[in-house]
Amino acid sequence: MTDTANTALRSGARLTPNRANADKPTIGIIAGWGRFPVLVAEAAKREGYGVACVGIKDHADAELARICDHFQWMGVAKFGSHMRFFRRHGADQIAMAGKLFKSQILFSGSLIWRHLPDYTCLRSLAPLLLSRRRDARDDSLLSRITQTYLDRGIDVRPATDFAPELLVKEGFLTRRRVSAAQQQDIEFGWQIAKQMGGLDIGQSITVKDGTVLAVEAVEGTDACIERTGDLCKQKGWTLVKVAKPNQDMRFDVPTIGPQTIDRVQRAGGTAIAIEANQTIVVDEAELIQAAEAAGIAIVARRSQAAAAAA
């Protein structure tokens, strides 16, 4: 992409590579970090949807400006601007896709000034963030945000409604299988990770020989993996990443991709267990190829509740 094009993208210009199917509506995407928003936008375009995308500053991939019919960079807390943008382009259904670096936005001076809230955001989140009983948990914030959009006539849908093929199916993704010891670690870690999710702490846990090595909190899975490598020089540990017990598929859905494999390999992990039908796998073919080369087993399994309901 040329310097001129990059400048245009950063200034909020839009590109229109093709027109939407007249029978399909325009959908909106609020895009955070990573490949997931790109894949959702591409899937929606293939299905004939028009796509209007808000790219979150310091997070979203500039490639989205080429893919989407309408694109604009905005701060994460500019709710009013987001809604006006979507209404202007006829999008009354939107999806959230991609990661937000919450710790940097809320707790670090490096980014907070680029994401100052507008009036709509303040009205929405002030009861959570400015009261004496401050509540900055992911579920609390995201539930309030989705309700704010809904109150103003914009429905927030799961991003996987537009790209269902990204949800992983049950079974082994790799030829390599987990050992008996790894299976025990998966069973052990799974129950703990589910309890963590129910408390809105995090999605991931690392385990070796029945010992919890690290758990994910606000810093995210990548930092949890890195910390595990520092703590477990013996290597051969297992990553367990699960959905929350009552996972809202509209936001904060567990996600892995090729970068996850790279980080696990460098930190000494040899097995990954994820939750079937509730985990997004980004660039699955590339992920499997990387895992096979690294000797990492990946298994997608159902939770006990899902298996019992089947």
The residue ranges of every structural domain in the chain are 3-161, 167-309
* pLDDT for res 5: 40
Structure tokens given for 48 = 């004939």
Structure tokens given for 208 = 């070796």
Whether the pLDDT of residue 301 is over 50: the answer is yes
Of 29-33, 35-39, 111-115, least confident by mean pLDDT is 111-115
Whether the pLDDT of residue 11 is over 70: the answer is no
Whether the pLDDT of residue 101 is over 90: the answer is no
* pLDDT for res 136: 75
Distances (CA, A) of 254 to 48, 72, 185, 204: 27, 26, 19, 9
Q: What is the CATH number of domain 167-309?
A: 3.40.140.80
- d(Cα 102, Cα 242) in Å, to the nearest integer? 20
pLDDT digits (tens, 9 = 90+) for 184-232: 999 999 999 999 999 999 999 999 999 999 999 988 999 999 999 999 9
* pLDDT for res 306: 59
* pLDDT for res 10: 41
Per the rule left: phi > 0, alpha: psi between -120 and 50, beta: everything else, 55 is beta
- Which of 115, 116, 137 shows the shortest CA–CA distance to 218? 137
* pLDDT for res 61: 96
Q: What is the CATH number of domain 3-161?
A: 3.40.50.20
Structure tokens given for 161 = 């409604």
* pLDDT for res 102: 59
The dihedrals phi and psi of 8, each to the nearest 5 degrees, come to: -65, -40
Better-scored residue on pLDDT, 9 or 274: 274
Percent of the chain exceeding pLDDT 90 equals 73
Q: Tell me the average pLDDT of the chain.
A: 89
- d(Cα 27, Cα 89) in Å, to the nearest integer? 9
Q: How confident is the model at residue 118 (pLDDT cuts 50, 70, 90)?
A: confident
Number of Cβ within a 10 Å radius of residue 204: 27
Residues 268-275, mean pLDDT to the nearest whole number: 99
Whether the pLDDT of residue 73 is over 80: the answer is yes
Of 109-123, 132-146, 270-284, least confident by mean pLDDT is 109-123
Structure tokens given for 23 = 């029978």
Please state the pTM of the whole predicted model: 0.85
Q: How confident is the model at residue 105 (pLDDT cuts 50, 70, 90)?
A: low
Q: Which amino acid appears at position 127 of this protein?
A: P
- d(Cα 279, Cα 254) in Å, to the nearest integer? 5
Distances (CA, A) of 233 to 5, 98, 157, 179: 46, 31, 42, 20
Give the sign of the dihedral formed by CA 59, CA 64, CA 68, CA 72: positive
- d(Cα 230, Cα 226) in Å, to the nearest integer? 7
Report, in angstroms and rounded to the nearest whole number, the Rg of the chain calculated over CA atoms.
Answer: 20
* pLDDT for res 212: 98
Helix (H, G, I), strand (E, B) or coil at 293: helix
* pLDDT for res 116: 79
Q: How confident is the model at residue 148 (pLDDT cuts 50, 70, 90)?
A: very high
